[in-house]
Chain A
Amino acid sequence: MSTLREDAAPVEVIKPPGVWTRTRRGRTAILYLLPSIILFGVFVFYPMFRTIYLSFFLTDQRGEAAVFVGLDNYRYLLESAAFLNSAKATILFVLYTVPAGVILALFLALIANEKLKGIGFFRTIYSSTMGVSVAAASVVWLFMFHPSIGMFNRFLALFDIGQIQWLLDPDWALFSVAISTIWMNTGFSFLILLGGLQNINEHLYESAKIDGAGYFYQLRRITLPMLSPTLFFIITISLINAFQSFGQIDILTKGGPAQSTNLIVYSIYREAFVNYQFGTASAQAVFLFLCILVVTILQFRFGERKVHYQ
């Protein structure tokens, strides 16, 4: 903004403009931004500040701030084994879902990018999970994981492999939820990555072919660098989504067994809407916000260097 003003200044050298005139551009800008400022303000910033405010209080039965406790809610969280466990589960969940999900979607996008007859059918199938709501998908997975009538255990039984308590064994539950989450997110990532692939200029591949480059060489030197902005976007979004997973946890495990899938968002929900402790719930929310903020900043700082913008 400052450069613009300097450009404009020499024209009216004779009379220094008043404050009103000088801020004209700024005011116009604000006017254009007003709709989004209002919307963000009401739906994002007000709730955010309210959350921070509540995190310093204990709330009463109606959810109103009742007793000011300063940083006690945060202190309690950091000492609470349950919360540390939630934090650990969340990090594990992110590690399970993000790399696997992105690689799977990338693989599907690469094979669906080939020009073959009937490829439209496969593209539709691969992106179809996007059209399934988290709740519906979770219910389907719930049946597949079912301990007595589930598909997976019947399948294992065919090969005489021992039964797995997919959602009831604390060692497996997080993994099971992660599998279903990867499946749910694949459609969206696939679609975005395919869009990215289709945007890559054909001439690049033609020139490479003339130079005698093989498929994998092209993949490494043309496709991935050209796709990097899209990949960066997908990784960021997947990461944030993984941190905020809720629906599948609520339906598949309700945070159990033995808290092994009690991710932070779920634990916030339970603290706020089952236990009505909006104070500690808000403190957890602030903590999660800070985590995502740090991760995203780190990603922009280090990840974006590898991104090639055209």
Chain B
Amino acid sequence: MMKKWRFGLLMVAAFVMLMLAGCTNSDPDAAPEADADTGTQEVGEQQEAAVNEEGKVEIEFWHAMSGGGQESLDAIAQGFNESQDKYVVNPEFQGTYEELLTKLRSIGGTKDAPALMQVFEIGTKYMIDSGYIEPVQKFIDEDSYDISQLEENILNYYMVDGELYSMPFNSSTPVLLYNKDAFREAGLDPEKAPETFADVIAASSKLKTDEMYGFSMLTYGWFFEELLATQGGLYVNEENGRAGNATEAVFNGPEGLNVFRFLDTMNKEGTFGNFGTNWDDIRAAFSSGKVAMYMDSSAGVANAIESSPFEVGAAYIPHADEVKRHGVIIGGASLWMSKGIADEEQQAAWEFMKYLTTPEVQAKWHLDTGYFAINPAAYEEDIVKEKWAEYPQFQVTVDQLQDTEPSVATQGALISVFPESRQQIVTALENLYQGADPQQVLDEAVEGTNRAIEIANQTSQ
């Protein structure tokens, strides 16, 4: 056995030596290559446009829409391709927003990058800083495109320093959905949803039965951000990162604490149902009558109505009692254009963006998916009016967005490390539900976010 050992050791040593040699050889080679790559992208060297056999300019469009959204998007792209004879847009599904961004990080700025890509709202700051993208403002100016036709509250989010870097696309906001039948049984008015935190707490204790919890919220950072914003609370300093690079998270102030106390109160009273971090779980809990009220994305409203055997009500998200309602931050994603690709390809991407924002396309998109129309003229289309008559809940989501007061709070925070910060919030919420102190878990989340911000600021210099 000893012999075997010694032989094994010898082999390992040999491998290690070989590899060390290999590494020292290959590393210097690799470095200039990488430099050359970034070099071309910085200069923005002229690239040949990809032209297909029919002489049309073909571009790739990376998106993260699955299911119904994907079908609708494919149909829209097809409509665009047939509407003119110069450009072809090929939509390609790339997984979730996070997965798409991961892929983009590895090829962003090279010639393999897609001309057009869909990036979620919290990736906005990252995309601007990345240097991979061409601001759409350039095309808006060249084309004298009238952006005032677009929804103001959506533009608000994506406008950074007065410039539009990306074209808003699929946008949603949170809404409070509730079980009207359960409200009736509990002796509550089904037409009057609770408005403030105290209302929700009171309603929850009335709605609570052996089978059903009063209220629930998906354990997801987005909902916390919304409940913070509707009180006018900021997420990070420097005016939510809109006046300059944010250096510190500030969501552990009184507004953040309000949200955590609100959840903590119901959790301790046993009226709060925790259904975890999965959208499907909480939706199943609602439609199977395990919880009477929960918050969902406006894009999930149609599905909730269809899959629930009871009457579903939709309302504005609740706010703390002592402050007035400020409104909601837009969620969802926008479309970005690559830099360093051929002018014709950029032009193709721009034409597609313009096509997307037409009222007809937006009406179809709104009805297919439940996302907002970024062009409010779409709401005047007949098909939308018909659907709204059938589902008045859709109207609520649009009203909530249009009632939003523009401010830095409802514009939403701009930081490049949002995914990490959301993770911190998830952990904080989970610890809260286990009985930890609200202020303490919030402080920990702020600390974690601050470390991430600090590293990001340190490494980007």
* With known contacts A61-B456, A148-B290, A277-B455, A167–B276 Cβ distance under 8 A: yes
Is B138 an interface residue when CB atoms closer than 8 A count as contact? no
B237 proximal to A (CB < 8 A): no
CA distance A276 to B104 in the complex (A): 13
Q: Decide if A259 touches B105 in the complex (CB within 8 Å).
A: no
Interface residues of B in 397-450 (CB under 8 A from A): 416-417, 419-420, 423, 426-427, 430-431, 433-434
A99 in the interface (beta carbon within 8 A): no
User: From DSSP, what is the main secondary structure of chain A's interface residues?
Assistant: loop
| Cα separation A303 to B458 with both chains bound (whole Å) | 48
- Which of A127-135, A202-210, A225-233, A267-275 is near enough to bind chain B? A267-275
Q: Which residues of B contact A258 (CB under 8 A)?
A: 427, 430-431, 433-434
Q: CB < 8 Å: which of B10, B23, B423 contacts A274?
A: B423
- The answer to whether A45 and B458 have CB atoms under 8 Å apart is no
Which residues on the B side are within 8 Å of A167 (C-beta)?
276
Q: In the bound complex, how far is the Cα of B278 from the Cα of A148, in angstroms?
A: 13
Chain A residues in 8 Å Cβ range of B275? 147-148, 168
**Which of under 10, 10 to 19, 20 to 34, or 35 or more describes the interface residues of A?**
35 or more
* Cβ–Cβ contact A49 & B452, under 8 A: no
Stretch at the interface among B83-91, B280-288, B376-384: B280-288
- A149 near B288 with CB under 8 A, answer yes
How distant is B278 from chain A, measured CB to nearest CB, in Å? 8
Q: Does the CB pair B430–A148 fall under 8 Å?
A: no
Q: How many Å lie between the Cα of A62 and that of B219 in the bound state?
A: 29
CB pair A40 B15 closer than 8 Å: yes
Residue of B with least CB distance to A63: B105
Q: Does B67 contact A (CB under 8 A)?
A: no
Distance in angstroms from A62 CB to nearest chain B CB is 6
Shortest Cβ gap from A45 to chain B (Å): 4
Verify B277–A62 contact, CB threshold 8 A. no
Identify which of B22, B420, B455 gathers the most chain A CB atoms within 10 Å of its CB. Answer: B455
Interface residues on B, range: 35 or more
Residue A257 interfacial (CB < 8 Å): yes
User: What B residues does A82 contact at CB under 8 A?
Assistant: 427
A200 is an interface residue with CB less than 8 A from chain B? no
Please determine whether A256 and B219 come into contact, CB atoms closer than 8 angstroms.
yes
Q: Please, how many angstroms separate the alpha-carbon atoms of A277 and B448 in the complex?
A: 13
Separation of A116 and B15 alpha carbons in the complex (Å): 49
A170 / chain B contacts, CB cutoff of 8 Å: 430, 434
Residues of chain B having any CB pair with chain A under 8 Å: 1, 10, 15-16, 18-20, 22-23, 26, 34, 98, 102, 105-106, 108, 126, 129-130, 219, 274-277, 281, 284-285, 288, 290, 416-417, 419-420, 423, 426-427, 430-431, 433-434, 452, 455-456, 458-460
- Smallest CB-CB A-B distances: 4 pairs: A258-B430, A66-B459, A60-B459, A45-B19
Q: 5 A-B pairs, CB-CB below 8 angstroms?
A: A40-B15, A45-B16, A146-B284, A254-B277, A275-B417
The chain A residues found within 8 Å of chain B, CB to CB, are: 1, 37, 40-41, 45-46, 49, 58-64, 66-67, 82, 146-149, 165, 167-168, 170, 254, 256-259, 270, 273-277, 304
- Assuming A146-B284, A257-B274, what are 4 further A-B pairs, CB within 8 angstroms? A41-B19, A58-B459, A256-B276, A275-B420
